[in-house]
Amino acid sequence: MPGHDIIVVGASAGGVEALSYLVKNLPPDLNAAVFVVLHVPSHGTSVLPHILTRAGKLPASHAKDGEVIQLRRIYVAPPNYHLLVKPGHIHLTRGPRENGHRPAIDPLFRTAARTYGRRVVAVVLTGVLDDGTAGLRAVKMLNGVAVVQNPEDAMYSGMPRSAIENVDDIDHILPLSGIPDMLVNLANTPVEGEEDAVPEVIEFESDLVELDMNVLSNEARPGKPSTFGCPDCGGTLWELSEGGLLRFRCRTGHAYSAETLLAKQSDALEDALWVALRALEEKASLSSRMAKRMRDRNQLLSAQRLEEEVEDSQKRAEVIRDVLLKGNATAAEANNSKALEDEEPTNIS
């Protein structure tokens, strides 16, 4: 009887330090495979496997599409790919971003739960906002084990706090120092109970991240159409309500929690304000040049009208400039208040 031999870990801001500590304290004979998603820029270069290999006793590498899952290995999601767990192997996909990220934590947790059910241990570590919460709910729906870093112990408390507030029956809320021993104990504990039926919503969302055409064209999708548009593609967002967790997903698969969608809308509003500021500055500049030409030609009434437009545009631009500066200052203060923000193998079937 297998133990809890599928360990999936998600982290964001502050995650390099947390993950390094975690793997440093895992034994070389760990009876589990470990899968890691750390939010990294899609077009950046990740050296996380090198860092984790040096920090601990288990070999770490970027996951490869189709790679066979082995015990005592750490698989890291590469930049710009979602890491998915399939029966006995790994699948990488450049499917739609979730919560603004690719790789994202939710697809890893969700597919691991779908494939291995009770054998899964999902760990949410330090990070901002709430990626990982929906995936953790999927793990619990299939009777896996949920482990969350204590928010008071995390460098960034957003992700752990969201998981605790929105997922029922978290199994273990621990400081980082207590998580390695818990994972070892769980890996050595036989899994009891029969395999659970996979809920339709988990199957749907797991297939959608792979851009399955049957799912994309299926009109009978979970949730109900909302009044909001997708920040990434502009399509209608479907509203999904699971207990106290409110989420949104568009036809092509982009997914957002309510908190992430609000952050995205704030970014879009700022972009619109910059466009408006640029347009007003350009209008004031052009009107000023035209007014000067009118005065040079002694067309005083036309010059006066244009000068009034210059003054009006400058006043409007000043209002927008103040909004942008105050908004940026508020965001900086919020960020600073939180903290300053990467024996022989045994196959699993």
Of 215, 240, 245, residue with least CA distance to 228: 240
Residue 341 pLDDT > 60: no
- For 118-160, what is each residue's pLDDT tens digit? 999 999 999 998 999 999 999 999 999 999 999 999 999 999 9
Residue 340 pLDDT > 50: no
Residue 2 is predicted with a pLDDT of 86
Residue 336 pLDDT > 60: no
DSSP 234-293: -PEEEEEEETTEEEEEETT--EEEHHHHHHHHHHHHHHHHHHHHHHHHHHHHHHHHHHHH
> What mean pLDDT do residues 301-319 have?
91
Q: Give the pairing of strands 89-93 and 82-86.
A: antiparallel
316: number of CA atoms within 13 Å, CB side? 18
Residue 35 is predicted with a pLDDT of 98
CB 10 within 8 A of CB 40: no
> What mean pLDDT do residues 226-255 have?
86
* Percent of residues, the chain, with pLDDT higher than 70: 93
Residue 68 is predicted with a pLDDT of 97
Residue 245 is predicted with a pLDDT of 83
Residues 6+ apart with CB under 8 A from 285: none
Helix (H) or strand (E) holding 75: strand 74-76
**Better pLDDT: 272 or 48:** 48
Please count the helices (runs of H) and the strands (runs of E) in the chain.
10, 13
Residues involved in catalysis: 12, 39, 131
- For 164-221, what is each residue's pLDDT tens digit? 999 989 999 999 999 999 999 999 999 988 888 999 889 989 998 988 877 776 667 7
pTM: 0.81
> What mean pLDDT do residues 92-97 have?
94
Of the listed ranges 58-72, 197-211, 260-274, the one predicted with least confidence: 260-274
Position 345 confidence tier, pLDDT thresholds 50, 70, 90: low
Residue 110 pLDDT > 90: yes
Instruction: List 74's β-bridge partners, or say none.
Output: 34, 60
Position 241 confidence tier, pLDDT thresholds 50, 70, 90: confident
Of 160, 231, 172, residue with least CA distance to 13: 160
Report the distance separating Cα 85 and Cα 107, nearest Å.
Answer: 9
Q: State yes or no: cis peptide before 28, omega within 30 of 0.
A: no
**Better pLDDT: 348 or 279:** 279
